[in-house]
Amino acid sequence: MSEVQAQRLSAGDIEAAVDRLEHYMTDTLSRFVQCRSLLGQEIPAAEFLEAELAELGLQSERIALRTEDIEGLPLYSPACCPDGGRFNVLACHEPTQSTGRSVLFNGHLDVVPTGPEHLWEESPFKGSLHDGWLYGRGSGDMKAGIVCSLAAFKALQDLGMQPAAVVGFNGVLEEENTGNGTLATISALKSAIGVAKLSAFDAVLIPEPTHEGLMSAQVGVFWMYVDIIGKPAHASVMTTGISPVDLGLRVMDAIRKVEHEWNLPENRHPAYRDHAHPINFNLGQIHAGDWNSSVPSVCTLGLRLSCYPDMPVETAKARIEACIRQVEQEVGQPDTQFNIRYEGFHAPGCEYDLDVPALRLLADSHRQVAGEAPKPVALTGTTDGRHFHFMTDVPVTCYGPIARNYHGFNENVSVQSMLRVAKTFALFLNEWCGVEPKRG
């Protein structure tokens, strides 16, 4: 092994360099949170990430989200909104002499709606710091994790070094509703962007807020909409009408029985034996009616449904559709209609092999920082990790900081946890990629 190949920084120097970046991390995250990046509005966050990468000396490529390029792929999810010129961001550090192994950090730029902003203690896009926690929509899920990866890279630079292998940073769209952003990135990685051929990666790390655990599995998730047409009538003679809201409640009762069945201990997937309630059927939206004195004509249910990693999404969809059709048959009214449609997630579940060199090294790096091994986490949600799992041979997991109330009011992330995650990433880069003197 040559002298260049053997170069490493000391763990103590790396951890101290990350500690010195605490203000950089909180300032960057605060400004990142201030970029409102709701669905269809992610461009300001993408441009912000481009600027931060440029500060680290990295030039970004833009990967446009074009539905026509990806809708034929098996992992495509039905789009929820127009492409609208939106784009992913991908920047790659190229070493002077590549002697180590490469890694890609992948993280999503989109955030979920805030709900009524007056119910937050402060504006959800203020990005305030209180008692060691930074608040705001997207702070934990998952802009903090992206900042951790940037800080890890910067810490090596501040020590006069840089990774001796390709390190990629990928900010993507639509993780929260389709996953089509990462799907577009992987499709692009398998072809050329402009005149440049982008290299394959030896590992992928997704810094979702896993409370510093390593993702070992994730459930399948799909979104379903049920449009129920009833029979409107004046409220004074409401018994002559048929309320689609009442029918919607019957639908929910029917599918809750399936949810209960799948959550029974004897029916749980082995990865979820210790979860009390791994399968969650959520009624996320209900829209009905337009007049207090009228029986509604239409009720729309917006559902988020899930299944275990060993159940195909198509099988789960068929089971739920059968429940709905059974309710429709029981109602037996010619004046009613039950229409089922799909937008958003069509995301199969999967398990992840943590016993591979890259992920063992990530666990060892965490152990050096935290003093204990990271716990495996079987997620009861979905992540973009599934795309890398099914479409590549690259080892992948999610590992990120402790966050609270994501998707709820007053979302926040622990600054101390961010520091630990950034140290873990920096130690990982040091060992996985090796280091060489920083250019310039």
Q: Identify whether the C-beta of residue 156 lies closer than 8 Å to the C-beta of residue 426.
A: yes
Position 6 scores a pLDDT of 54
**Residues in a beta bridge with 91:** 60, 169
> Per residue in 381-397, pLDDT tens?
999 999 999 999 999 99
pLDDT one digit per residue (tens) for the chain, 440 residues: 344 455 999 999 999 999 999 999 999 999 999 999 999 999 999 999 999 999 999 999 999 999 999 999 999 999 999 999 999 999 999 999 889 999 999 999 999 999 999 999 999 999 999 999 999 999 999 999 999 999 999 999 999 999 999 999 999 999 999 999 999 999 988 875 443 445 579 999 999 999 999 999 999 999 999 999 999 999 999 999 999 999 999 999 999 999 999 999 999 999 999 999 999 999 999 999 999 999 999 999 999 999 999 999 999 999 999 999 999 999 999 999 999 999 999 999 999 999 999 999 999 999 999 999 999 999 999 999 999 999 999 999 999 999 999 999 999 999 999 999 999 999 999 999 999 999 87
Residue 244 backbone class (left: φ over 0; alpha: ψ -120 to 50; beta: rest): alpha
What kind and span of H or E run contains 129? strand 129-130
50 vs 107: CA distance, rounded Å: 13
Cα separation, 110 vs 172, in Å, equals 8
Using an 8 Å Cβ cutoff, are 354 and 149 in contact? no
pLDDT recorded at residue 98: 86
**CA nearest to 354, candidates 326, 377, 338, 330:** 377
Which residues of 133-230 form beta strands (DSSP E)?
A: 133-135, 161-163, 167-172, 192-193, 196-197, 204-206, 214-218, 220-229
**pLDDT 10s digits, 97-114:** 889 999 999 999 999 999
